[in-house]
Structure 1
Amino acid sequence: MLMTPGPTALPPPVREAASEELLNPDVDPAFADRYDALLRKLATVFGTDDEVVVLGGEGILGLEAAIASTVAPGDRVLCLSNGPYGDGFADFVENYGGEATLVGTDYDDALPIDDLERTLDEGEFDLATMVHCETPTGTLNRLGPALDLFEAHDVLTVVDAVSSLGGVPVPTDRIDVALGASQKCFSAPPGLAVCSVSDAAWERIEARDPDSLYTNLLPWHDAEQPYPYTHLSTLVVALSAALDVVLAEGLDAVYDRHREAARVCRDRGRELGLEPFPDPERSSPTVTAFSVPGQATELQARLHREQEVTLSTGLGGLEDDVLRVGHMGYNADVEKVTRAMDAVRAVR
């Protein structure tokens, strides 16, 4: 049983859609219709009237494309972070010639809003980045206070919502570039990055006029040629089917299901003497990261070998100290979570 925080297990309608006869995205009108329908469904899940783009690549492509498209050499970018992906935005900024200012804190802390306010008062910034759900630590960040400050200082925002979009509400209407991916809460196969782009962000991208193709959002803004290279048609069809499942259930019901699965996971963890890595009040409804100092890799191996359950460990310096249970998308299911935690109990 796959219970990782992405890729997730696929529901039957998605597996069936992925097995359909291949559509040629370059010449088949049926693909254009499916693609247009996918964009409308994504806009509903994003909760936005902004333009939506679907890139042919894993979620990291979306993060890099957002920076490659909006950051020119010498631009000042504030990277607000309390996790590995927040830190990683600074690397992207430097790679594209921007000047990154990292306002960070320990990975088990809340976003450093006081430090952010001081930094914004002391200097001017062209762009800001942050992460909604830091998957490696199981943290769901409160974006409101930071967005208030960025709006007050007229700073455009790029937000990684890869592990929250479709599982918890995302304040997309306050974000200039909001990023998601197919393999997380949508429970579609990995391989598509999705993003919503505000009018202000498009103005910046047009002024920047990036010279790349694959990491450039601008070609997707051409209404006469909605996808600038051969799209990943099977993945588009599968993601569309996954969104049908989400929208048929209803977003409010989906969010409730994620919260309940998270509650059961953490209650069972406490029974085993396990606590979430961050403060439980900041733990994400889509993933639980249990603190298991020095035990994570051994527990992961035993779970896979003895219980046929696949969980994830932490990343980087947390690899052996954090065990992660993904309860997102199709896996936000109390019965599945219960089975996964029964397996954890068996190997503890």
Structure 2
Amino acid sequence: MTDTPARLLNLLSLLQTPREWPGSELAERLDVSQRTIRRDIDRLRDLGYPVEATRGSVGGYRLVAGAAMPPLLLDDEEAVAIAVGLRAGAGHAIEGIEEASVRALAKLEQVLPSRLRHRVTTLQAATIPLTRGDGATIDPRTLTVIAGTVTARERLRFAYRAGDGSESRRQVEPYRLVSTGRRWYLVAYDLGREDWRTFRVDRVAEPFATGARFTPREVPSGDDAMELLRHSMSRRQPEHELDVSFAAPASYVAARLPEPLGSPVATGDETCRLRARAADSVEWLALRLALVDCEFTVHGPAALRDYVTDLATRLTRATS
């Protein structure tokens, strides 16, 4: 094999399997001399791939963990498996990995051959998730198109259906995608309204990257995307002064609450308290508190306390 780039890719593909390769076997596989293999190993190291060599009669080469993540070479089956997993994670807003899933999916689908992209779409369309969150599912392509325009600072056009069912066409300068754990939101500057807006991504249709670049505007009052989203949601529904005590460590509770609710403060080794502003329904707040899976006490607001009391009564009645 005289084509050096092709030979390096084949060598890298072999080394990415979890085993140690004797130099003689690599040379035989690639139909080159062991001296060429040694030179190619040095080239891979220069590119950032940590290849470890062991000496002796049973020595050889293997790829090990390094200080940084080098590019990976995937075969067709591996690429399809990863894309399907990322689409599932992004489309159902899996809490904690949602933004990373979208970024990785956008990068992968950008270089995925059309034959593999068709396989991914077909496989996903033919399967149904066993579990789902309490938020709406989203076409992963919608997320990747939006994520691409955010990264490239490119204007975006789309059709939008508001909460009252009215439909409109929007052209925006996308700023950030934000996941609340059950829904995705797009924070953007709406060119038609000449103001900042937030859009529920599950209500976005036909997203189209226009190709027109823009210089990012200054966010109002220096707020970040999450603050803009909180402000927008507080205008749509009443904001609650949440005050809840938990019979569990603060780290345990924080890991099970959506980020927008904030972080609880430890009041003891096994107790903590959460005081936060929450612009959401008392029904959803009650559900999220119950999913923390520990004893808790609602100090306020009164509407949430009353709803939790009523819900507990109904659940007790259901079991009897």
| TM norm. shorter chain > 0.5 | no
**Which structure's relative contact order is higher, taking Cα pairs within 8 Å and 6+ residues apart?**
1
Q: TM-score, normalised by structure 1?
A: 0.23
| Structure with more strand by fraction | 2
Q: TM-score, normalised by structure 2?
A: 0.24
Q: Name the larger-Rg structure.
A: 2
